[in-house]
């Protein structure tokens, strides 16, 4: 099987080495040195250039190297008529859950206030509620969102989820669609976004959402920067509607040094590190996908381009 590997990360060599270690029979070609494009069976990619698939008339599968496919769908306006799969790595989901747990603990236990007091050498204790009294709302209940919910519940938090479609087997209360959003937000003290980025979810974290949350709430965005309307967040922080935010993703990355998000005392910035893809663990998932393709078996985690996930 002939595979093209393309990634915007500086990790192509590591990916190729791991693929060949776990599947020595593969022929892995690094973009752009791919030889005859008509020979390619599979493309493994992340935020590809628009011409990546030119001439690949025998392509059988596009496997994205991340949990989201928005980079592919936005950058390549006309895709080959082949299956598209996203990467669902349980290890990555666990890393995302760890990030969301840390953010929840940080706000619940008021560590954000203690960080500000540190610079002033100020000794002042702050009361905090017990976990069952903290309403945590998780937007998104896919592979990542489900893991976030499970981990937070293990720590006793009062967790609910908001999704586009019903999840009758979910282990927490689920609020669905536009009709369920107001009630979901009203009970959410800490809002965690792990939604896929689609036309429907772009700019979803806006003034309308913040105004429906309890005063003094918190925002955690570990999904995509385009989910957040930054001026609305800054306004909500200034008025006290929100008390703090922890942001891992941004519409422009790296986050420009001129951004006010760096300097706002109530915002904690991390450099898109919540769930970094690990080539070692992710390759095991990808190799299983390739073996399924070879055997003619159903493929895993296929994407509906019309829905965006």
Quick one: three-class SS letters along the chain? CEEEEEECCCCHHHHHHHHHHHCCCCEEEECCCCCCHHHCCEEEEECCCCCCCCCCCCCCEEEECCCCCHHHHHHCCCCCCCCEECCCCHHHHHHHHHHHHHHHHHHHCCHHHHHHHHCCCCCCCCCCCCHHHCEEEEECCCHHHHHHHHHHHHCCCEEEEEECCCCCCCCCCEEEHHHHHHHHHHCCCEEEECCCCCCCCCCCECHHHHHCCCCCEEEEECCCHHHECHHHHHHHHHHCCEEEEEECCCCCCCCCCCCHHHCCCCEEECCCCCCCCCHHHHHHHHHHHHHHHHHCCCCCCECCCCCCC
Which residue numbers are catalytic? Answer: 224, 272
d(CA 56, CA 72) in angstroms, rounded, equals 16
Q: Are strands 190-193 and 2-7 parallel, antiparallel or unpaired?
A: unpaired
| HSE toward the beta carbon, residue 154, CA cutoff 13 A | 10
């Amino acid at each position: 099987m002939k595979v093209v590997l393309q990634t915007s990360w500086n990790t192509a060599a590591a990916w190729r080495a791991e693929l060949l270690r776990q599947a020595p029979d593969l022929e892995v070609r690094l973009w752009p040195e791919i030889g005859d494009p008509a020979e390619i069976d599979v493309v493994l990619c992340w935020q590809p250039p628009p011409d990546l698939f030119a001439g690949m008339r025998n392509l059988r599968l596009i496997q994205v190297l991340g949990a989201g496919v928005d980079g592919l769908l936005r950058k390549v306006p006309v895709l080959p008529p082949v299956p598209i799969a996203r990467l669902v790595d349980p290890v990555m989901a666990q890393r995302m859950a760890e990030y969301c747990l840390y953010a929840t603990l940080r706000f619940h236990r008021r560590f954000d206030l203690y960080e500000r007091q540190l610079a002033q050498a100020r000794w002042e204790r702050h009361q905090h509620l017990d976990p069952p009294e903290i309403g945590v709302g998780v937007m998104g209940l896919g592979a990542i969102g489900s893991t976030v919910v499970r981990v937070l519940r293990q720590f006793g938090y009062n967790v609910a989820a908001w999704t586009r479609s019903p999840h009758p087997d979910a282990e927490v209360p689920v609020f669905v669609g536009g009709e369920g959003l107001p009630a979901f937000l009203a009970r959410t003290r800490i809002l965690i976004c792990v939604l896929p980025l689609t036309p429907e979810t772009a700019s979803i974290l806006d003034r309308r959402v913040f105004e429906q949350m309890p005063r003094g709430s918190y925002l955690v965005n570990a999904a995509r920067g385009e989910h957040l309307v930054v001026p609305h967040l800054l306004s909500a922080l200034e008025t006290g509607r929100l008390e703090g935010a922890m942001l891992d993703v941004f519409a422009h990355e790296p986050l420009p040094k001129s951004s006010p998000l760096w300097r706002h005392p109530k915002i904690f910035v991390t450099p898109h590190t919540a769930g970094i893809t690990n080539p070692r663990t992710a390759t095991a998932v990808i190799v299983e996908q390739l073996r399924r393709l070879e055997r003619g078996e159903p493929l895993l985690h296929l994407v509906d381009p019309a829905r965006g996930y």
